[in-house]
Structure 1
Amino acid sequence: MTTVLTYLQFHLAFLVPLALFLIATGFVSRTRIERGGLVGRAVARRYWGGVAIVTGVALVYTIPWDNYLIARGVWWYGPDATLATLGYAPVGEYLFILVQPWLTALWLAHLTLPSSWPTVDRPIATRAAGLVLAAAIGVGGWVAFGTDSTLYLGAIAAWAAPVLALQWAVGAPQLWARRRLVALGTLVPALYLCLVDRIAIEYGIWVLSERYTTGVHVAGLPVEEAVFFLVTNLFVVQGLVLFRWVLDRRREPASSRTASAVESAFGGS
């Protein structure tokens, strides 16, 4: 199909308006980020500082992987869809990696972020279960990576596993305690990005290889793309929730942290 939209036009049509909408509506729900201790600019500054850190990590971690898959021929871009490339990826792809965490963070800022952290049962077991699950995802990914039809799906799983392992090893109990927040914060932007990704594929802005994909589609979207947006938004949401938890822990008095550590060793949070 002839390309109707360029990658830059895709950003202007689907990502910029959403960002502006979330920024505008964020003024209404801004107090949701300002709960739990300090209020006002200090809390907002910490929150967006966390977003900047998560975005930087996303860029460093995703760019080499992205370039490898494009070089491998897992996907490519329509001949008229890009203006310039850096490495194997178009500039628009780097912008997408940069913008996505901010969109997710803008949405998450509309939700009620944790102002306290409840005591959780069996934190060591929960972290261990998270590590086992992440390891299973990684092993499954490497196995799938060895077959052409599951190469892209395997690449996503193998790439996602180390991040999930780190996040779950650090804060699986806290994430599980806030699972509704994590689920809502993840699924809404993931669904939106799946929708616009489906449109981009339809108009040939980018093209997925039939050889390296399963051919399984969900509402017309390759299942690999749905998995990609699910895990990347999960990275962002879990990262921001854990960033808030770490800052809250640092603000606790030393005596409280010591008591909490003792409690954790015997089954508390």
Structure 2
Amino acid sequence: MTYLQFLALFIAPLLLLAALHAHRTRRAHPDRPWRTGLTVLALLWAAAWVWTTPWDSWIIHRGVWSYPEGRVLATVFRVPLEEYVFMAAQTLIVGLWTLSRIATGTPDVTLNTRCLRVSWGNVWLLAASAGAAMALHGPSGTYLGSMLLWFAPLLAVQSYVGADVLHACRPIRLTSLLPVAACLWIADRIAIALGIWQISTTRTYGPTLLGLPLEEALFFLLTSLLVTNGLVLATHPRIRHRLRLPTAEARSPRHQVAP
């Protein structure tokens, strides 16, 4: 099976299911912030390519993952064209599912402390520092270390902006993140079993999750978390007020929200 066939058989149905679910939810809850959410999702779609491509190219160059000859159509910056499609599809699947969950109701934020935001932001920065140490320590830490170094700072920024909002929206985030991540884990495990791509045993630590390298599972979890967090923050009125973004609620004295 080629990479393109894998996308058609396993990823396209997930995208179609997420789109149909979002469409039905939008019809049921038309008053929710769909326009803002879809605009931000489009930006996240573009950001997924811009931010992930250099790292993806680097880990391919370092031999973290590879693809047999004849399984991909072509490559750009060492990255298969199908991988760009996968990046976009993952962002859309996670994003549409998250927007559907947001539409069912956004909880109020009762816990609002700068300490919480700073603490979680610092935790992710420590994770990035730990990643740098792993990547430098030896070849087995290349995948996990570079991944934490590359993506954890983005999660730190999200935490500095709104860890209190993310904390209040835990049910939305978990029910948005875990089902999609589980589907992607299964699809990835099938692709590895079919030999569509391979993960280096010398560039990973070795533990697996039902046969899937732990680093692969964590990759889908972290990148999906970035999308979910981004949409939760972008559509929550507390964050829009905190960043002084224009909204009807922010302009009305009756809807003032504490920063």
The two structures have a TM-score, normalised by structure 2, of: 0.90
Alignment of structure 1 residues 36-185 onto 2, 5 Å:
36=32, 43-113=33-103, 118-146=108-136, 147-185=138-176
Contact 1:33 1:109 in 2 (8 A): no
Amino acid at match of 1:158: L
CA distance 1:35–1:134, shift in 2 (3 Å): same
Cα displacement string for residues 211-242 of structure 1 (whole angstroms, at most 9, x for unaligned residues): 10111111000000000000011000001111
Give the match for residue 219 of structure 2.
228
**More deviation, 231-240/148-157:** 148-157
Contact 1:33 1:112 in 2 (8 A): no
Q: How many angstroms apart in 2 are the aligned matches of 1:33 and 1:206?
A: 41
Amino acid at match of 2:62: R
Q: How many angstroms apart in 2 are the aligned matches of 1:259 and 1:16?
A: 43
Contact 2:2 2:196 in 1 (8 A): yes
Q: For 2:236, what is the secondary structure of its paired residue? A: helix
Q: Which one of 239, 250, 255 corresponds to residue 253 of structure 1?
A: 250
Give the match for residue 194 of structure 1.
185
Amino acid at match of 1:109: L
Q: Cα offset for 1:255?
A: 6.1
Q: For 1:80, what is the secondary structure of its paired residue? A: coil
Q: For 1:16, what is the secondary structure of its paired residue? A: helix
Q: How many residues align?
A: 252
Q: For 2:5, what is the secondary structure of its paired residue? A: helix
Instruction: Identify unmatched segments of 5+ residues in structure 1.
Output: 37-42, 265-269
CA distance 1:89–1:119, shift in 2 (3 Å): closer
CA distance 1:169–1:179, shift in 2 (3 Å): same
Q: Quote the sequence identity (%).
A: 34
Q: Is structure 2 residue 1 aligned with structure 1 residue 16?
A: no
Contact 1:194 1:221 in 2 (8 A): yes
Contact 1:33 1:44 in 2 (8 A): no
Q: Cα offset for 1:166?
A: 0.8
Q: Cα offset for 1:114?
A: 7.0
Aligned alpha-carbon RMSD (Å): 2.1
Amino acid at match of 1:225: E
Q: For 2:66, what is the secondary structure of its paired residue? A: strand
Q: How many angstroms apart in 2 are the aligned matches of 1:209 and 1:32?
A: 46
Q: How many angstroms apart in 2 are the aligned matches of 1:194 and 1:253?
A: 41
Give the match for residue 40 of structure 1.
none
Give the match for residue 216 of structure 1.
207
Cα displacement string for residues 84-124 of structure 1 (whole angstroms, at most 9, x for unaligned residues): 11111110111111111101122223324375552433420
Q: How many angstroms apart in 2 are the aligned matches of 1:85 and 1:47?
A: 32
Instruction: Identify unmatched segments of 5+ residues in structure 2.
Output: none
The two structures have a TM-score, normalised by structure 1, of: 0.87
